[in-house]
Amino acid sequence: MRTSVEGGPSRMRWVLAAVVAATALAACGDGAGGSGSGTGLDRTAGGARGGDVARLQPGDRPVRFRLDTSVTPELTGFVVETLQWAHEDLGDSGPLTVHVYSDEERFVRAYTDEYAISADEARTELDAGMHAFASPGGHIWLYLPNFEQAPLGFQRLTLFHEYQHTQQQWQAVVNFQSERVGERSFVPRWLVEGCAEHLAVQASSKRGFLDAAQERATVVSLAQQSAEPLREFETRGQAEFIGGKEEAYTVGSLACERLSATFGEDSVLSRFWVSMEQTRDWNAAFVAAFGVSPDAFYADFERYRATL
């Protein structure tokens, strides 16, 4: 049974998943007859019917859906409305495809068609509470039975968080999804998750979905439970549903907050990711975006963290 869906003081249970995929999506959501397994239907968004595709302004960015039949127009409208706000508040992320499944078997089939993961592993993640993630190429995936158990504000926060991932990827161009530190597409997990989380919380708070100060208190309290240095979360600290303790999200969001406060929000919203495209090397992109080396920042952050 799902175990991570009850309420409680920790909101981190609602903040899950991101770039967990090991392989890129191929030709998904193109409306050309499904993914090969009949798991999805192409449908228009926001309650519109008849071939219209929802578009985000400015920029006229299309949002396409892949759904199963029990996903309602109200839900797609809610998603489009929230993504419109994310687009306005955080910036462009290119065309999006949103995959929404209300049926576990359909989700598992679509998921395992696209990723190097077994059906049992996928079910385990869903049962542990996985409800949303993003994958390269502007894809956002929602597993509705878990997603809809979160309060509405956290549903919106989740969409902001996943939107941030599509924006990171859009700006970086390179798929920074390697889990091997030595590969040129590698970006530390704490930077990917921590910045998605930090920026999503800030934007959500400005929209009134939640209280950033309250969220920060929760994050600090969770981060204090970890004695490991930030550097450890270059490759670890993943979401609970894949067996982690989420330090990439908690310690990582404090690290991103520190970067943003020191070097300006644009450095974490855009400069680092654009520099990834230019340098194809996260250490070089870090220096280009922030003007300091990762080692220097790690030392600064550990001193700062000890004062929290």
Which residues are near Zn ion by CB under 5 A?
A: 18, 193, 196
Residue closer to Zn ion (CB basis): 193 or 281: 193
Which is closer to Zn ion, CB of 196 or CB of 219?
Answer: 196
Phi, psi of 292 (to 5 degrees): -135, 160
Q: Report how far residue 115's alpha carbon sits from residue 155's, in angstroms, rounded to the nearest whole number.
A: 24
E-strand ranges in 26-181 read: 41-43, 54-56, 61-67, 96-101, 132-135, 139-143
User: Smallest distance, Å, CB 284 to Zn ion?
Assistant: 24
**Closest distance of CB 242 from Zn ion, Å:** 12
Are 186 and 179 in contact, with CB atoms under 8 Å apart? yes
- Taking the complex as a whole, the smallest distance from the CB of residue 165 to Zn ion amounts, in Å, to 6
Work out how close the CB of 43 gets to Zn ion at its nearest, in angstroms, rounded to a whole number.
25
DSSP notation for 224-286: TT--S-GGGGGT----GGGT---HHHHHHHHHHHHHHHHH-HHIIIIIHHHHHHHHS-HHHHH
* Least gap, CB of 87 to Zn ion (angstroms): 18
- Give 44 or 83: the residue with its C-beta nearer to Zn ion: 83
Do 248 and 233 contact (CB within 8 A), yes or no?
Answer: yes
- Residue 91 or residue 244: which is nearer to Zn ion going by CB? 244
- State both tokens at 185: 């597409």
* 20 or 285: CB nearest Zn ion: 20
